[in-house]
């Protein structure tokens, strides 16, 4: 079994379910970065050689989700088991009674809506450091606890697609590939992003640029080299209102960056859309993960 040293790291196993010959598990741990207890889920594929390092894919979920949405709804485990890929599914924000939430209990700010940024503003900055949690703390814990390859893949949906793209574009040495479903690609210029960034980062829009994939792609310019796949449903209610996907494709075309953007008639923003195309995303990532 992978990860037998849980007792030494403060990692507590909450559940374990046999799945396609592997294990779907859920853990909790104390996060020093977020200053709270956090949960995350993993799928560990069937392992023939316990000394083999597994290729790993981080999945970042969207608004209102937890670490459990993807594991229960996407149907990713069958293909991940076939390909031998470990899936790592963190939560979308810090959690706990002491964690600040939106005053109006809005779904797009506060709990469940961390936006994968390091907040600088009150009352958020003490706990909402999701960027550092995803990029530094959680990978360090995973590498200590599980046998995984050095470079990972990263993917996500909606707010999580925003997180996956911005994190990958800023850390290309850490990730071998990135993909997204219906991502928020230009949060500086849509309602969801502007609300979150004003609250978490303040009114100075220069401070937003580090978390805007359109701006990051332009900044990287000729240094862009990470393989990228993006899927978008054309019947997604948020496609036009939140300016999903298309602005990033326009920047990629402007730069001559060979990212792949696919548009699908009839598909919406739901997990039914993700479940329909998750296999192709896993196979896309496998091409790059298995080269290591």
Q: What are phi and psi of 36, to 5 degrees?
A: -165, 170
Question: Catalytic one among 67, 91, 231, 236?
Answer: 236
SS3 (DSSP) at 79: helix
Q: Which of 158, 177, 179, 213 is catalytic?
A: 158
236 an active-site residue?
yes
Contacts of 280 (CB under 8 A, 6+ apart): 229
DSSP 145-208: HS-B-SSEEEEEETHHHHHHHHHHHH-TTTEEEEEEES----GGGSHHHHHHHHHHH-S-GGGG
Q: Max Cα separation, the chain? A: 53
Cα gap 254→218, rounded to integer Å: 9
Judge whether 101 counts as a catalytic residue: no
- Annotated active-site residue in 29, 157, 162, 269: 269
Catalytic residue list:
158, 236, 269
């Amino acid at each position: 079994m992978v990860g037998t040293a849980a007792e030494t790291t403060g990692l507590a196993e909450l559940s374990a379910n046999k799945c396609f010959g592997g294990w779907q598990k859920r853990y909790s741990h104390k996060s020093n970065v977020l200053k709270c207890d956090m949960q995350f889920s993993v799928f560990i594929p069937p392992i023939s050689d316990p000394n083999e390092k597994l290729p790993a894919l981080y999945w970042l979920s969207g608004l209102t989700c937890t670490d459990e949405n993807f594991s229960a709804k996407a149907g990713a485990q069958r293909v991940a088991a076939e390909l031998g890929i470990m899936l790592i599914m963190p939560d979308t924000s810090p959690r706990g009674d002491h964690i600040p939430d939106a005053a109006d209990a809005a779904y797009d700010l506060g709990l469940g809506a961390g936006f994968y940024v390091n907040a600088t503003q009150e009352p958020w900055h003490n706990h909402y450091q999701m960027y550092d949690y995803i990029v530094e703390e959680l990978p360090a814990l995973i590498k200590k606890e599980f046998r995984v390859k050095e470079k990972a893949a990263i993917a996500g949906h909606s707010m999580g697609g925003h997180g996956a793209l911005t994190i990958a574009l800023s850390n290309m040495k850490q990730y071998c590939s990135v993909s997204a479903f219906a991502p928020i690609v230009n949060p500086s210029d849509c309602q969801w992003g502007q609300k979150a960034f004003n609250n978490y980062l303040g009114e100075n829009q220069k401070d937003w640029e580090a978390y805007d994939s359109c701006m990051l792609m332009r900044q990287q310019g000729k240094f862009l080299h990470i393989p990228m796949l993006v899927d978008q449903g054309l019947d997604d209610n948020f496609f036009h209102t939140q300016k999903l996907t298309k602005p990033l494709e326009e920047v990629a075309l402007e730069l001559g960056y060979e990212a792949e953007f696919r548009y699908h008639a009839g598909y919406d923003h739901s997990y039914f859309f993700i479940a329909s195309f998750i296999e192709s995303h896993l196979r896309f990532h496998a091409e790059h993960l298995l080269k290591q």
